[in-house]
Structure 1
Amino acid sequence: MNFSHLLIPIVPEQAIKESFEQVFNIADQQASHVTLLAVIEELAEFKEIYRYSGTTLNILDKATQVYHDALKQHVQTLKHRYHNIHFHTQIRIGIPSIEIIKQAQASHASMVVIDSHRENKTIACQRGSNTLNLMRKSEVPIWSISTDATEVKRVIAAIDLTNQDYHAFNEQIVALAVEYCDMVGAELTLTHAWRLESEGFLRKWSGYEDIDIALLSKKMRDERLERLQALLGPYQDSTVTKKVELLEGETRAVLPEYVVNHQVDLVILGSLSRTGVAGFLMGNTAESVLNQLDCSVITLKPDSFQSPVLQQSDA
């Protein structure tokens, strides 16, 4: 189950926002384990302090105790409302994104949930470097929640059909999407963005006319539509409302536009590389799309992915 153990990094001295309500409701419904994590950043200045004083332990000990007390208070408050959740707390010292990934492995978390929207960003929906680092390098799914605490009703899963080798991963994405929609009663749309990128080449070098281009485009569209629908085949008996949608055009333009026009509450994306974020989107394109999405986003990796953070720590 993708929601059996949620790792939630928080800033202990701040109140837990209403946007986490959707997360705790699911965890309570599933009787999940929830670990509240606080990361104390290990500042370079500590090394300088150590050179002159011989110790930084007192500073870290005090910070750890303050964070421990704050996390304990959060748990006590949450337990009064969510009786079925098994709460845990953890404090780590280091770089936040790295320590979150390490803690996810140590606690066998099934998903990391993070509030990645900050008021000091240049645009309201811009996600910070910490979130993007997690999406690039985490082995477990990352759920970046929106600032909106409203009920999730519409979910889309973005599917990459450009390579047959991605089929197993697409099945993994759809399984998570159906599981989520089944828990919250949301409707699911599988989307795939595409365009005939070789149209200019075909016209110039192969003598294709408008009718030839139209027929070829229709064949490609129909084939991709069939493959999208086939991914929903195993879930014919599911009570989740499901449909498929082909989006024609540049992904960075058509996907955010679709999300806004259809009031989508959650987007689920796959990530296939260490440097790219969103599956069929790589590098700057992926981050451009993510920073246009004001809704919640879940990104996940193939089961075969190995985090470079964990590989370095094992070295």
Structure 2
Amino acid sequence: MNHEQLLSLPPDVAGLEKAAAILQRGGLVSFPTETVYGLGADARNNAAVAGIYEAKGRPSFNPLIVHVPDVSAAESYCVFNAAAQHLAQGFWPGALTLVLPLRADAGISKLVTAGLDTLAVRVPDHPVAAGLLRAFGGPVAAPSANPSGRVSPTAAAHVVAGLGGRIDAVVDGGDCAVGVESTIVSCIGEPALLRAGGIPVEALEACLGAPLKTLHDPSTPIAPGQLASHYAPQGKVRLNASGAGKGEVLLGFGPVEADLNLSVAGDLTEAAARLFACLHELDAMGAEQIAVSPIPDHGLGRAINDRLKRAAAPR
């Protein structure tokens, strides 16, 4: 497969039907969600799911998120407890992934779950993603559409640059609005935060009326996005910088002089939407040393800091 063979499909009915047909025959299709672009395959097809791992160079012990069109579809694959039902009612469709017990008759490839008896599932809040899921009529496994460990894509051009010679098609639905991946909550027993993301933890805790536990072991991930080194640009990243040192490019936040700025106004929503696009731009600039301004660690700031800490981790 080469760049010329990568289909760029429009986000209309005809384009989504072509994308669904590719999925049905075991191909790989990138599509936009409200968070980032996903790399989709039929979650029931072992060979197709193996293609995701091969295209991304992703470790096979790192589980995948399955995307479905609605709550009833999710319930056909997973067992919901009261907390899961409450969260799904409050935040689906949206940037929330729930990790739930997998039904014995779900038919989901073991490559999706990395052999676990749980499934990470979500209902995306994006018209193109929703249209593709309806056209396909089945569960779509879809991690972010980037080489493993690299910066996640928030535009079709990012997908083409990273995976253009390795996948079949990309549905070009414009830029992603949220810009960071979904928040992941385990509902195996007491609800626990597995990954900060597009839904602030404070909103989830308000919905549940109780604080979330935090579970994390990067050596044995039970959900996507838990590896210690992830979302990394080419250059070395230094966090909580008051300014750029010698040879550094500054990725700013707030009213600071910077080469690039996530949000001059200090708006966390804008910063989250711009984060991965700015990291891609730093790569395009050839930045070898990157300093990043401090980001407030609340609301979407927690998700931004999570991604930046992984980008700065030793590789």
Structure-2-length-normalised TM-score: 0.27
Question: Normalized per residue, which structure has more helix?
Answer: 1
Which structure is larger by alpha-carbon Rg, 1 or 2? 1
